[in-house]
Structure formats: structure tokens, C-alpha cells
Amino acid sequence: MPSGALVAALLAGLLLAGPAFAAPHLTLCHGGHPVTTAASALLAKWARREGIALKIETIPFDQYLPRMTRALMAGNRACDILWHNDDWSDAWKSALASTQDVAGMEEVELTPLDVFRNEEGEVTVVPMVHTVGVFFYRRDLLRPEEVPQNLTALLEISLRLQREGKVRWGYVGAMSAGNAWFSLWWTLWNNGCDLFAPAFVRENAVLAAAGWRPMIDDPCSLEIVEFWWDALHRTHIAPETMTGFGRAEANAVFAAGDAAFTVADSTFLKELERSKIAGSVGVAPFPVGDHGTGPVAWNDIWGWAIPKAISPQRRKLAKKLLGDFLTDTEGQVALSLETGAPPASRRARARLIATDPLYQALEHAAFEARPIHSAYYFPRWPSVETAYSEIVLTALSGPREAIEATLHAGIPRLHAAAAGP
């Protein structure tokens, strides 16, 4: 029988050693979107298998970016894994650890990652899913070969379906400030145009060398604004109130069966599949304008990031967990089938393409098109987005003959929004 002093010593030793026997723990922070929620559940599965206690903190979507930005800039260590997005990649790049050595990174598309590099050129994100632009159509109204391949056909087919009483509107899409992707910009890009010259370039040094020249009154841009003015006010293939539609309003009109076509991120695919038009949702390449040379689709990723501020031990643990996530082909497939977002790894995408006809169409529509980043990447980008929307929406609300002058008058404002006064 050990003496009282020996028992006390043994107990003290166990108490001191206690933390060594505790499960390692990590905290994951995300913004509550259905895609990030589902992806967090996949990470939680792997955490359990690895014996990691994973705390998941959901931050309200409208608070997520400012809170995380403040925390990262202050060196806060509250979150070990963060939801990361191309929209704010430039703002965070100096505060994030390199993720190039995470298992499975060799299985992802490289092009969408170029905006997630730090000053040393290292990638600072682990892809979660792709977010790609999709041209949705009603399969109960049109066969795949009947889907419009150009803007003229989009107009003509919309008018025919309206005359036949099959839909109230040919096209519906978000157009309000902050939603230009789903009407103005996809048509702009597919007409060979962009916000700044050179078109399709996102390298700030190249854009600065070109003087941050707005293309807003170039012929390829003027044609698009005139196309939408006609769609809203002359041909009425789209509702005039569409200038105030956000994504929720546009998706609701399409989901109710009131329109033949819409554009949204692929992440809305499953939401539409659960709506009134379930079983009738198709995806196709974007119709091309007269100046376009082929379909253009935005292809970006949502992902995970690791703050530099956390300890090397926690960073190593976070990378292990993210590698498990990225190399879990079955989990990636299930995540995509649940959310409609194409998986991050090529292997998982190949599995879906081989087994799911809708994903075959999505691959053709989004991944075989010319890729473009859906935003520009510099601190003044929100000002550019606001300026563009207000200029074009002003043109769309005025007389058609004033469109060119309105766009031209907006050049100084758009230039100043990008380059500064």
C-alpha cells in the first residue's frame, strides 16, 4: 500500500499531466450560408475520426466579413479555420498562413486560386466548393438543343414562349445594386466586354498601367445596356421591376414557374430543384452577344483559411483536418449533391460527371466555358461595384436615346472609384 505522501504525489502528477490527455481542439468560424454549414458538417465528421474537438461558431452573414477582418488584422486567435471567399481575398492575404502543403491541393483547379496568393505568391486557401455562374432554363419547355445560344435567340424564344402563354416572362434575373452579375455582367462578359480595359484582366498592375480605363460606354457595353432597356421597356421579356430585384426575388419568380430563363450561382441549383419546377431545371452555356467569341462563365471558389496568428501546433492540426476534407471524395460528392455547388477536387467532379446527368450539363456549361473572376480584387472594389450599378440603373430608368450620354457621363465617377480622385 503506497504511503499517503506517495498517493498525493501520484495524484498531483496526474493533475499536472491532465491537459496532455485532453483531446486537441480547434474552432471553425463561418457565416451560416447553407453551403458553409454543410461543409462544416463534413469537417466535423473528420474531426471526430481524428479525435479533435471541433467547435463550430456561426456568425451572422452580414457581420461575418467585418468581424473576421478586424480579428485577423488584430492577430486574434479565436478561430483556427475560417470561411474564406474570393471577394475579400485581397484584404486578408497578409494575415493568412500558406496552405500549399495541405493534402489534396494537387487535385484542385489552379486558375480560381490565383487571387488567393500572398505577397510571396503562396496560396492561402483550401477550396471548399466552386461557385460558378449558371444559365438556368426550363426543361419542360425546351429541349437542350432549343436553348438560346445568343442574345438574339434569347429574345426571340422568350417572346414565343410568352405568346404561347407558357410563361409570364422570358427572362428574370437580379439587377439591383450589388446584383449586377445576374443580368448586366453575364451579358457584358458574353459580349466580349468588361468593366475596365483590358477585358477579362484581374491583375491590378496591368489595369493600372492601362489607366483603369472604364469600358462602360464602349460599343460592347452600350449594346448590353440597350439590350436590357429593350427587354424591360420595349419587348417586355423581363419585368420592369427587375431593376429592383435581388437574388431572392429573381429566384422566386423562376422557381414559381413564371419565367423560362434565369441566371444564378450553381449553389442555388438544389433550392430550385425543390421548388414548384422541381424536375424541370436545366443548365446550359450562356448565350453570347455579337461581340462575344464563345460562352464566358465566372468560376470562383469558396474555401477555408488558417490565420497566421495561431500556434504552429494548431496550424498543423488545422491543415490535417482540411486535408481530410479535401481528399474525402465521397464526402465531396455528397456535399455537392446536397448544395448544388461543384466539388473542389477533380476526382469528386469526375465521379459526379460519370453518374449525374445534371452535373454533366453543369460541367459543359461552367467548366468548358472561358473562365472569368466575378469581381476585381483591390480595396476600392465595393465603390466600383456601387458606382457601376448606379450609373447603369440610371440609364435603364431614363429614355433610350439618353443611354449613351448617361454611360459616357459616368466614366469619371467609375474611374475615380477604382483609381481614386
* DSSP letters spanning 222-283: HHHHHHHHHHHHTS-SS-GGGGG--HHHHHHHHHTT-EEEEEEEGGGHHHHHTSTTTT-EEE
Burial class (CB in 10 A: 0-12, 13-18, 19+), 15: exposed
Of the candidates 233, 234, 273, the one whose C-alpha atom is nearest the C-alpha of residue 254 is: 273
Question: In Å, what is the CA distance from 45 to each residue of 265, 333, 344, 398?
Answer: 27, 15, 18, 55
C-alpha cell at 60: 451572422
- Measured distance CA(406)–CA(412) in Å, rounded: 12
C-alpha cell at 81: 479555420
- Measured distance CA(421)–CA(404) in Å, rounded: 23
The confidence score (pLDDT) of residue 211 equals 97
Do the domains spanning 25-131+299-372 and 133-298+376-419 agree at the CATH topology level? yes
**231-251: per-residue pLDDT in tens?**
999 999 999 999 999 999 999
Q: Angle at the Cα of 371 (from 367 to 374), degrees rounded to 5?
A: 120
**181-210: per-residue pLDDT in tens?**
999 999 999 999 999 999 999 999 999 999
Q: Any idea where the domains of the chain sit in the sequence? A: 25-131+299-372, 133-298+376-419
* pLDDT surpasses 50 at 316: yes
Alpha-carbon torsion (398, 404, 406, 410), positive or negative: positive
What percent of the chain has a predicted confidence (pLDDT) above 70?
95
* pLDDT surpasses 50 at 40: yes
Of the candidates 190, 117, 120, the one whose C-alpha atom is nearest the C-alpha of residue 152 is: 190
* pLDDT surpasses 80 at 20: no
Q: Rounded mean pLDDT of 39-48?
A: 96
Angle between helices 151-163 and 219-233 (to 10 degrees): 0
* pLDDT surpasses 50 at 19: no
Q: Terminus-to-terminus CA distance in the chain, angstroms? A: 84
C-alpha cell at 192: 466580349
**74-122: per-residue pLDDT in tens?**
998 899 999 999 988 888 989 999 999 999 999 898 888 889 999 899 9
Provide the CATH number for the domain formed by 25-131+299-372 in this structure. Answer: 3.40.190.10
* pLDDT surpasses 90 at 387: yes
The confidence score (pLDDT) of residue 105 equals 95
* DSSP letters spanning 25-41: EEEEEE---HHHHHHHH
pTM of the model: 0.88
Q: Rounded mean pLDDT of 364-392?
A: 93
Provide the CATH number for the domain formed by 133-298+376-419 in this structure. Answer: 3.40.190.10
Q: Rounded mean pLDDT of 128-150?
A: 95
* pLDDT surpasses 60 at 21: no
